[in-house]
Structure 1
Amino acid sequence: MRHGQPAPLFQRLSRYYLLFTGGFGCFLAALAMLENEGMPRVWIGYLFMLATITLYAFIGLVSRTSNVAEYYVAGRRVPAMFNGMATAADWISAASFISLAGTLYLHGFDGLAYIMGWTGGYCLVALLIAPYLRRFSQYTIPDFLAARYGGPHHGRIVRIMAVAATIIVSFTYVVAQIYAVGLIASRFTGVDFSVGIFLGLASILVCSFLGGMRAITWTQVAQYIIILVAFLIPAMWLSAKHSDNPIPQVAYGKLLPELGARERGLAADPKELEVRAIFLRRAQDYARKLEGLPGSWDTGRFEAQRQLDVAKQRNASLLDIRNAEKALLAYPKTAEDAAGAWRTARDHNLRRAAPPVPHAEPFVARDKAASDNKRNNFLALVFCLMVGTAALPHILMRSYTTPSVHETRVSVFWTLFFILLIYLTIPALAVLVKYDIYTAMVGSEFSHLPTWVSYWANVDKLHPLISITDINRDGVVQLAEIAIDGDVLVLATPEIAGLPYVISGLVAAGGLAAALSTADGLLLAISNALSHDIYYQIVDPGASTQKRVTISKLLLLAVAFIAAYAASTKPADILSLVSAAFSLAGSTLFPALVLGVFWQRATRQGAVAGMVAGFCVCLYYMVHANPILGGSAAGQWFGIAPVSAGIFGVPAGLLTMALVSWLTPPPGRDVQALVAHIRTPET
């Protein structure tokens, strides 16, 4: 084959993965038969987890290496199609597999910002960065930035800053992946959430620790196959169930008008209005309590104590006494605690009181100003996700693994193709699941609720993933009485659709594969940046190749356990964590990468100033405008949500870098020659 791709390797890999796909199909069929024969569900979950983790461990063992080029960039010999599959698996993280369909289910059209931003971002990778990085032929992103902005003697500060940015961005991202691993493992094995995190961590480490990029690449190809099968089967089943057509993208267009009619009917239903009115009254009660602080806190504490005393004096049932004790224990300890808790409860009830957002209508709001604000946030999020994608270190690293620049370009095409197989299905799946719930569950009796509701409600008792409560006590499920966390929707889809439990295990395996594949790449990006760019390039330039790889493995272990601990604290939902990583990446690295390729006048001082300015503006806005981080929504600039902080960070980085570059001497001839070299088409 042309451009250095060995035909025997491609053919051998094709044969191996075809055999793997066939074997995986046989494994699914065997589990389906065992379920039909009465095998307990928990054992099916165990078998799925055990089989997939064993597979990844086997690939890691077979691919173990101590060679620097193999460990960092898989020997630069991965064929374009397989590199595309591996990159797609690296890219389709837990946020894409688990959370994205749930976001579209909850927010309708507005959730499409994620699909548009992430897909468009990969187009930027293809056009602006990936081929030029491969032309440079190094190991890491800080390598490129250090050489571009000063060479081996003057690029140290740029290298250190690029390493810092890589660590911050990748660590934020990897915590979200490990959180998803804990969610899946706890649901399908019954272990505690924190234990599930460390079980998944063991699987991550086997691949990345033993074989680096080589092991991760071949594992990610297998993981992509599992992701694709796991995502398509439930979507195709629901598609056939509701439209007699197994192609979800076709059913999507047919069901949207029917879903819209059902939404309009529910919006005007008297029972739905009754439930929403109850939530509104609750919100108003909390608002009055907030206005009456601190007196209302004293009154409430006295009332909770009185209720307990009355229950004991009247010899109430043990259950009533325990409930009164729980109410007293749960009561806020101080007026400040009460203010935070009541404010959260008020906002929660206000959201539940609002009518459902029509799925297909964009930027629905109470007035034009609010609608314009939604549109602006939509466009800002698309922008941040695009530039963030084009600057993610663990994705850009994969451009180093192909045999040539031509193969890198072809690989980007395959990556987009494999990503779109999933991304074109996600909006369809969201509509299919919403249609199923709106038509099958809404209006049913509480006594006939399916068992999966209680399963998912008990996965995380502190923050229930699903809650269905009879608010108006009529015994019938109303839409307003259903609260679903977006992170649970895809994992629960097989049970919602009435599929055999073996498909639930398959979807869990797909979600696990998505989280593990991305976590592998992120951890390797962090450890390689520390071992290659800090230890080898700065601390010990004379280190042997064996020592460099050993240091990388030890650092990978340390970072993995720190990330697992951070994930065990449940810092935020998956999509919020991931989105923050994109804004930080775009603000810090995107200006230096793009101007470094396309503007010879860009200087080291400009790059340093641009990275600092972009990062500081982005981080400041996230903290300043995010109530979770101690800020206030009232501090938002132009009404832009903190998740889109990159809309301010990226221009700040670009303008600062351009201004400082013009005010400082131009780079030397060696740097300008490097820029000319990486932009020269390969012959």
Structure 2
Amino acid sequence: MNFIIVIMFFIYLLAMMGIGLIFYFKTKDLSDYVLGGRQLGGWVTSLSAQASDMSGWLLMGLPGAAYLMGMGSIWIAIGLAIGTYLNWRIIAKRLRIYTQVSGDSLTLPDYFENRFRDSSKILRIVSAIFTLVFFLVYTSSGFVAGGKLFSTVFGISYIKALTIGAIVIVVYTFLGGFMAVCWTDFFQGMMMFGAVIVVPIIAVKSLGGISESVNIIKGINSNLLSPFMDLKGYSIPLISIISSLAWGVGYFGQPHILVRFMAIKSAKEIRKARIIAIIWVIFSLSAAMIIGMLGLAYLDTPLVGNDSEKVFLVMVSKIFNPVLGGFLMAAVLAAIMSTADSQLLVTASSITEDFYKVLFRKNASEKELVFVSRLAVIIVAVIAYCLALDESSSILNIVAYAWAGFGATFGPTIILSLFWKRMTRNGALIGMIAGGITVILWKSLSGGIFELYEIVPGFIISIITIIIVSLLDKEPDDEIKREFDMVKSKSKE
């Protein structure tokens, strides 16, 4: 079986790198490389956004949580579904318009600087620093997932598996930039959707139908089917439910998702993209939960601890023939690559646009900036690779930390910058710092209130800080107010 899966993987990887090569020759300037010249269609925008959002944890992390906790983990899925809808409904259109009107901004730090007319560059640099810190953590989660996948499928050491996965991701991101990442994510998103839907259907059929599957799970532990009870029969603490639902507010600050909104070719495409994205998310999250719970009924040998994140892989190897199994395993690789490539590109873009160009080479040519972006992809990948060397790392825990970091650092700033005219540069700056630092400090503490997911205090403190500092600060210039009103007017069209 391994030989056939190797062939399937090889074909898939060649196709992804082929896309990278195609866009290598189409990339003419930095805008093409980091934002695709704002030419994404609705389908590519929606599926690439959701594929880069969900990543390897959709097929590994979330099923693993459901395998260990049953329906008690559903609150994460509910929070993410609500957050996805609100992000597309509230943020997408206005961010697309604002980033183009305000200096044709290519990155979030670029947008913040243009939005608040920050000639000091400090807002851009601080936001770029947080982008770099949290994306290094986030990218390492993708590398960990890739290492676990190759190690499980091919029976090779984790380090060898990690190295193979990292090299492939770097190659096509290095070559093709944003358009290569989005088009590969488009195909990867379809593969992920197909895999996550097919596996539970076949598993339920092989177990004798829905009723029999439910009865088997009940026989293992009836509490697995309750969203309000843990496995020992105790009520799930309110703090745990709030923490899980809070994943949803993280969407407002995720650069690799927000950049898709910035790149769509027209604000009119957003409604179609939103509908596609919501359907994809609801079905995918539901199926991922079901996969984890069916694993309890289907697998003979229990998976312990972080090995629970391999439940999808083990089920595929048991259920399907080598050819289809190879395709589904490639879908897991697609899920991993679709996020890691986006994270690499956004981080490299920030290094180029917000550090190199601002601090070192203000008059750098477009060709030079594209070269620096490609070099940054390699440097960031090497650092993320080093962070991923610990095989015992939990994919879900790594993602949760990075997700909280971005959500609390950028989420409140994005929301208020789009909808509050009175917000000032100092409010944005201090708010971002307050949110990011709160997440880092809160994560280092434990017990009592500190069991609350760090995104909650980080998000709240950031919002309060932005409002207080902005109100104490002098009002924005008339030029900034006029631009805000223009964006508001365009958003209603």
TM class by shorter chain equals over 0.9
Q: Deviations over 1:494-535 (max 9, x none)?
A: 234x43233432232111110011000000010001101222
Match of 2:307 in 1: 485
Deviations 1:83-129 (A, max 9, x none): 21222221220111212112112101221122112211112211332
TM-score by length of 2: 0.92
Change (3 A) 1:484 1:552: closer
In the alignment, structure 1 residue 58 sits paired with structure 2 residue 18: yes
Name the structure 2 match of 1:435. Answer: 297
For 2:317, the aligned partner's letter is E
Alignment partner of 1:362 out of 214, 225, 228: 228
Instruction: Verify the 8 A CA contact 2:422 2:475 in the aligned structure 1.
Output: yes
1:239 and 1:483 mapped to 2: Cα distance?
24
Q: Does 1:148 align with 2:130?
A: no
Kept in 2, the 8 Å contact 1:88–1:416? The answer is no
Alpha-carbon RMSD: 2.2
Following TM superposition, by how much is the alpha carbon of 1:71 offset from its aligned partner in structure 2, in angstroms? 0.9
Residue of structure 1 in register with 2:285 after alignment: 423
Q: Highest relative contact order (Cα 8 Å, sep 6+), 1 or 2?
A: 2
Counterparts of 1:670 and 1:47, CA distance in 2: 59
User: 1:227/1:366 Cα in 2 relative to 1: closer, same or farther (>3 Å)?
Assistant: closer
Q: 1:232 to 1:657 in 2, by over 3 A?
A: same
Distance (whole Å) between structure 2 residues aligned to residue 591 and residue 224 of structure 1? 28
Indicate if the aligned counterparts of 1:174 and 1:522 stay in contact, CA closer than 8 A: yes
Distance 1:623 1:195 in 2: 31
Structure 1: which 5+ runs fail to align? 1-40, 245-250, 265-355, 442-452, 454-465, 468-481, 626-632
Tell me, what secondary structure is at the counterpart of 2:238? Answer: helix
Matching of residue 94 in structure 1 with residue 56 in structure 2: yes
Which deviates the most, 56-65 or 227-236? 227-236
Report deviation, 1:366.
6.7
* Sequence identity percentage: 23
Q: Give the letter aligned to residue 153 of structure 1.
A: S
Aligned to 1:478: none
Q: Deviations over 1:313-358 (max 9, x none)?
A: xxxxxxxxxxxxxxxxxxxxxxxxxxxxxxxxxxxxxxxxxxx853
After TM superposition, list the pairs within 5 Å mapping 1:439-588 onto structure 2: 441=300, 485-496=307-318, 498-570=319-391, 572-588=393-409
**Larger Rg belongs to:** 1
Tell me which residue corresponds to 2:465: 656
| Deviations 1:381-404 (CA, angstroms, capped at 9, x unpaired) | 211x11212210011001122111
Distance 2:59 2:232 in 1: 32
Q: Secondary structure at the match of 1:91?
A: helix
Q: Which residue of 2 aligns with 1:258?
A: 215
- What is the aligned counterpart of 2:159 among 178, 191, 194? 194
Q: 1:179 aligns with which of 144, 158, 162?
A: 144
Moved more, 60-69 or 47-56: 60-69
Question: 1:60-209 alignment to 2 at 5 Å?
Answer: 60-64=20-24, 65-135=27-97, 136-137=99-100, 138-149=105-116, 151-154=117-120, 156-209=121-174
Q: 1:667 — aligned with what? A: 476
- 8 Å CA contact 1:133–1:144 kept in 2: the answer is no
1:219 aligns with 2:81: no
Distance of 1:616 and 1:520 partners within structure 2: 26
Partner Cα distance (1:546, 1:538) in 2:
18
Q: Tell me whether 510-519 or 202-211 shows the greater mean CA deviation.
A: 202-211
Code of the aligned partner of 2:106 = Y
CA distance in 2, matches of 1:184, 1:420: 25
Contact 1:179 1:197 in 2 (8 A): yes
Contact 1:223 1:517 in 2 (8 A): yes
Deviations 1:391-446 (A, max 9, x none): 10011001122111111332232222222331221222233332334xxx3xxxxx
Counterparts in 2 of 1:42 and 1:133: CA distance versus 1, 3 Å: same
Greater CA drift, 82-91 or 204-213: 82-91
Which residue does the alignment assign to 1:16?
Answer: none
Distance in 2, matches of 1:665 and 1:394, equals 33
Is the contact between residue 72 and residue 228 of structure 2 (CA under 8 Å) also seen in structure 1? yes
Q: CA shift at 1:42, angstroms?
A: 2.3
1:165-209 superposed Cα distances (whole Å, 9 cap, x missing partner): 211222211110011111111222333211211211221122211
Q: Do the aligned partners of 1:256 and 1:360 also contact (CA within 8 Å) in 2? A: no
Q: Displacement of 1:256 after TM fit?
A: 6.8
- Distance in 2, Cα, partners of 1:108 & 1:526: 35
How many Å separate the matches in 2 of 1:398 and 1:361? 33
Q: Write out per-residue CA displacement over residues 142-169 of structure 1, whole angstroms, 9 at most, x where no aligned residue.
A: 11111222x1524x11111111121122
Tell me if structure 2 keeps the 8 A contact 1:91–1:518: yes
Write the distance in 1 (CA, Å) between the matches of 2:483 and 2:212. 54
Q: Distance in 1 between matches of 2:107 and 2:312?
A: 34
CA distance in 2, matches of 1:217, 1:69: 14
- Given that 1:606 and 1:660 are in contact with CA atoms closer than 8 Å, whether structure 2 keeps it comes out as yes
Alignment-derived partner of residue 488 in structure 2: 679
Single out whichever of 128-137 and 55-64 deviates more from structure 2: 128-137
Aligned to 1:395, which of 257, 261, 267? Answer: 257
Question: CA separation in 2, counterparts of 1:436 and 1:586?
Answer: 36
Residue by residue over 1:432-478, the C-alpha shift from the partner in whole angstroms, topping out at 9 and shown as x without a partner, is: 332334xxx3xxxxxxxxxxx6xxxxxxxxxxxx66xxxxxxxxxxx
**Which residue does 2:275 correspond to in 1?**
413
Secondary structure of 1:624's aligned partner:
coil
Describe how 1:328-339 pairs up with structure 2 within 5 A: none
Q: Is the 8 A contact 2:89 2:274 kept in 1?
A: no
Deviation, 1:232, is: 2.6
Deviates more, 1:517-526 or 1:162-171: 162-171
AA partner of residue 677 (structure 1): M
CA offsets, 1:349-381, max 9 Å, x none? xxxxxxx853325133879xx736x22211122
Closer, same or farther: CA 544–396 of 1 in aligned 2, 3 Å: same
Residue pair 1:255, 1:431 contacting (<8 A) in 2 also: no
- Of 422, 436, 441, 1:620 maps to 441
**Greater shift in the superposed pair: 518-527 or 219-228:** 219-228
- Classify 1:366/1:85 alpha carbon distance in 2 versus 1 (closer, same or farther; 3 Å): closer
Secondary structure of the residue that 1:420 maps to in structure 2?
helix
CA distance in 1, matches of 2:223, 2:133: 35
Give the CA deviation at 1:538. Answer: 3.9
Residue segments in structure 2 that go unaligned for 5+ positions in a row: none
Cα distance in 1 between the residues matched to 2:407 and 2:89: 16
TM-score (norm 1): 0.68
- Number of matched pairs: 485
